[in-house]
Amino acid sequence: MSRIGKKPVAIPSGVTANIEGKTLSVKGPKGTLSMGLSDLIDYKIEDGEIQVNPANDTQKARSYWGMQRTLVSNLVEGVTEGFTKVLEITGVGYRAQAQGKKLKLQLGYSHDVDLDVPEGLEVKTPDQTTIEISGSDKQAVGQFAAEVRRWRKPEPYKGKGIKYRGEYIFRKEGKKK
């Protein structure tokens, strides 16, 4: 039994959800999100909440149950509050600058790294060493944050690179004489 799957997803005021065929679409103040529905799961909208239950008692249906409920919850949370990832840059001369729909990174390479910001995401740089990526789609926010981080992952000796806020970097001791 899925403990997560048992809990219904509450639909806050100002948010509408409807099921059309094999698609669940949720509309709220931050936009509209939709996802494809699995045949192994039953979805019901009633009394201001979305109920997610397995369609049958197979192992596969029960293993999808909690994940599908979490995906539905992420849709509702995305259109109401949105998601944000904060990246921090550490290193001498490393900096970031948001320019409209582009993110310009200087990471110690012989060239600047210019990244196009995907549609539906917003990138802010409050200062040169902080990047805030926000949007309503949790997967898109996380994917773009991972792509930015990929350009210079934090290294264990000096800790230089791009890391998530709150991430712990395991530090190593250098060579000894």
Q: What is the pLDDT of residues 99-116, one digit of tens each?
A: 989 999 999 999 999 999
The neighbour count for residue 149, using CB atoms within 10 Å, is 19
Structure token digits, residue 117:
């910001």
| Sign of the alpha-carbon torsion through 29, 35, 39, 40 | negative
Report the topology of domain 83-164.
Outer Surface Protein A; domain 3 (3.90.930)
Structure token digits, residue 146:
């991972």
Q: Are 110 and 168 in contact (CB under 8 A)?
A: no
Interhelix angle 59-80/138-150, nearest 10 degrees: 90
Report the topology of domain 3-80.
Outer Surface Protein A; domain 3 (3.90.930)
Domains 3-80 and 83-164 share a fold: yes
Distance of alpha carbon 113 from alpha carbon 81, whole angstroms: 30
Q: For each of the chain's 177 residues, which pLDDT tens digit applies?
A: 668 888 999 999 999 999 998 999 999 999 899 999 989 999 999 888 999 999 998 999 999 999 999 999 999 999 999 999 999 999 999 999 999 899 999 999 999 999 999 999 999 999 999 999 999 999 999 999 999 999 999 999 998 999 999 999 999 998 888
Q: Domain boundaries in the chain? A: 3-80, 83-164
Q: Are 87 and 121 in contact (CB under 8 A)?
A: no
Contacts of 124 (CB under 8 A, 6+ apart): 98, 131, 132, 134
